[in-house]
Amino acid sequence: MDYINEYERWLQYDQLDTELKLQLEQIEGQDQEIEDRFYKSLEFGTAGLRGLIGAGINRINQYTVRKAVQGLSQYITMQGEETKQKGVVIAYDCRHKSADFAREAGLVLAQNGIKAYVFEGIRPTPELSFAVRYLKATAGIVITASHNPSEYNGLKVYGSDGAQIATEIADKITKEFERVPDELEVEVANLSQAQENGLFEWIGEQVDEAYQAQLRTFAWQPKENNKDYKVVYTPLHGTGNQPVRRVLANLGFQHLYVVPKQEHPDPNFSTVQSPNPEVPEVFYLAMKEAEKREADIIMGTDPDADRVGVMVRNEEGIYMHLTGNQLGALLLDYVLSQRAQRDDLPSNGTVMKTIVTSEMGEAVAAQYGVETMNTLTGFKYISEKIKSFEETKEKAFLFGYEESYGYLIGDFCRDKDAVQACMMVAEMGAYYKKKGLTLYQVLLRLFEKVGYFKEELVCITLKGKEGVLKIQHIMEQLREKSLEELRDMSVIHKKDYMHGIDGLPKSNVLKFILEDGSWFAARPSGTEPKIKFYFGVKGLSLRDSQIKLENVKNNTLASISASWWS
């Protein structure tokens, strides 16, 4: 692609948005910057678009959003008039341009004769998933870049089951996306006219209440149990504030304290470097609030409220950050124990996790005689299994999670849901407090039962065009080179998921199993310019597992030739 010609084409477009035109004028003569913005089109991947906000075909802006939604519209139109009439639900988070992009998406749909149900204000991604099912829509769109830094935004597409679209559907939409000849010429409807014609409808409170009502249906403990439990919560400037507060208040939590400086939506996420609850540093202000309130627990959700991070007091009374695997094991054990107490564990009950999630979950499930199934990374694969179970009745879904802080308990949503996870974590904490236990003590008891599992994730960020090529090169080297020995540890099995193994679709993931049962995996991120290395071990004690983890991690990274990175 001739990036200079593309740059000139945009610059000379007489109806170009004023802000975007100014950006292009400001980078005149900056060849590297022009190339990065125009050397390729922003790709419509398995879930949609995600990228830096700004002018250019390799950026997310009103024109690339219009092109993506036009591709979706063409796909829906191909499915027939009945599918078109069901409409598409659109939600958005608090990021820069999110409201504008949601409106543009709705007007493109309306122009194609497809009804758009657009939320009147910011909403969590899981509520979008719920709303698609509640309104019996044909699809859903959410404008978000999840936990990426503030300069990013994105567009994710959901199917009629409320789950992120399956790969085969994504491929068909991608073909339609690529058939759109010119992103600058995609037509949009007039808002007033679209509303008059019933093709654009604002939605809100009715869906909110229906979602909240579903959340309340799987609360196991009486409200009285929750009234003394102290929770500090931060929405990290995102969409979680209202729905999380609402559900906890409805369940009787009288001591909920929201971090004041992070309570309100802020597209700059001004108090954190990146609004990612996987990173302990984002809880700095929450920890100060928790110390002041003598809180039992700290919870934080990412901007679109599909991931949650948690801090609990350890034996020294210091707040410690639970890993996604540890929180997942605690939630899983609580869910299964509560269902077992009520004689509500179906014989075909199944837990689902991803191939890079801790093996601790399988060990916990086995304590209850429950099967564990592994999926590829990405919650849509868990959702696909739920849909299959629903249709065949072969299995019953009990719990699904991934190490990256995503959890699902109630399948009225078909994506990870931090609102229901916050609700369940708070209830779980209050339940154990009544028994004289902190969640940290419960975690230690769980380790004693099933083994001392420990994991770590190492991310290498490689930005831009060169970064993409480096990540490709690293994965090629890992595939081609023999890693028979990792210093003093032998690799006994290399699993290349590009071959579609273990009954799973093909995926660019490599997993190496070591002689002592430890493992590591490598995969490029699907949403960020990173390559991720996952490490997992099982030890005889906390100290033993930590030593083993450091050994596996350091030996693995040292065994990878430094020349691969250059």
Query: Any idea which residues carry the catalytic annotation?
Result: 146
Cα–chain-centroid distance for residue 75?
25
Partners of residue 521 on adjacent β-strands: 511, 534
DSSP annotation of 193: H
Decide if 404 contacts 309 (C-beta within 8 A).
Answer: no
Give the Cα separation of 209 and 215 in Å (integer). Answer: 10
Give 378's contacts (C-beta < 8 A, 6+ positions apart). Answer: 46, 47, 164, 354, 402, 526
Determine how β-strand 88-92 pairs with β-strand 116-119. parallel
Tokens 């890079």 — which residue?
356
- Within 10 Å of residue 96's Cβ, how many Cβ atoms? 15
Give the Cα separation of 507 and 500 in Å (integer). Answer: 7
Kindly report the backbone phi and psi dihedral angles of residue 539, in degrees, each rounded to the nearest multiple of 5, phi listed first: -115, 180
Tell me the two tokens of residue 115.
């009804």
- Within 10 Å of residue 162's Cβ, how many Cβ atoms? 26
- List of E strands, 368-474: 371-375, 396-402, 406-408, 452-461
Give 34's contacts (C-beta < 8 A, 6+ positions apart). Answer: 3, 4, 7, 27
Tell me the two tokens of residue 431.
């339940």
Cα–chain-centroid distance for residue 175?
25
Element (H, E) at 290: helix 284-293
Give the Cα separation of 291 and 514 in Å (integer). Answer: 42
Closest C-alpha to 381, from 531, 175, 172, 165: 165
Decide if 303 contacts 92 (C-beta within 8 A).
Answer: no
- Using DSSP's 3-state secondary structure scheme, residue 457 falls into strand
Tell me the two tokens of residue 417.
């849901």
Give 234's contacts (C-beta < 8 A, 6+ positions apart). Answer: 258, 259, 262, 263, 282, 283, 285, 286, 298, 299, 300, 301
Tell me the two tokens of residue 458.
């190492």
Give the Cα separation of 211 and 205 in Å (integer). Answer: 10
Closest C-alpha to 126, from 216, 215, 235, 202: 215
Dihedral (CA of 300, 302, 308, 310) sign: negative
Cα angle for residues 169, 172, 174 (degrees, 5° grid): 110
Element (H, E) at 522: strand 519-524
Q: Which burial class, exposed, middle or buried, applies to 98 when counting CB atoms under 10 A from its CB (0-12, 13-18, 19+)? A: buried
DSSP count for the chain of H helices, then E strands: 19, 21
